[in-house]
Structure 1
Amino acid sequence: MAVRMRHASLPEGQDIEVAEISVPSYQRMGWTVVDRQPSTTAEAQGRRRTQKEND
């Protein structure tokens, strides 16, 4: 899914679309999310680790 992003140093209307997974990387570079559509796919959730795995 694509997310629209904007950078403060660019003129209004020069937004970009990036893959949702790339948003954190772009945010570290100063980009901000313009709008984000709700995801239609189930988000992956972390699995629980058993006590044996934690030892």
Structure 2
Amino acid sequence: MKQTIANKNEELAQLRQDVPALVRALNQLTAENEELRQHQQLASPRVIPLRARAK
């Protein structure tokens, strides 16, 4: 049982160390997503959709 508790404590410590990097990555992706959404609304589309093929 002591080993199980020790393993869980190690796992929790690793998770706590990972949180700041995950938060930074999430914030960066959120900012990039917002920038892309703004650019999409302001700019004319560079990609022109093709017409659907007639069957």
TM-score, with length taken from structure 1: 0.25
Q: Which has the larger radius of gyration?
A: 2
TM-score, with length taken from structure 2: 0.25
More helix per residue: 2
More strand per residue: 1
Identify the structure with bigger relative contact order (alpha carbons < 8 Å, sequence gap 6+): 1
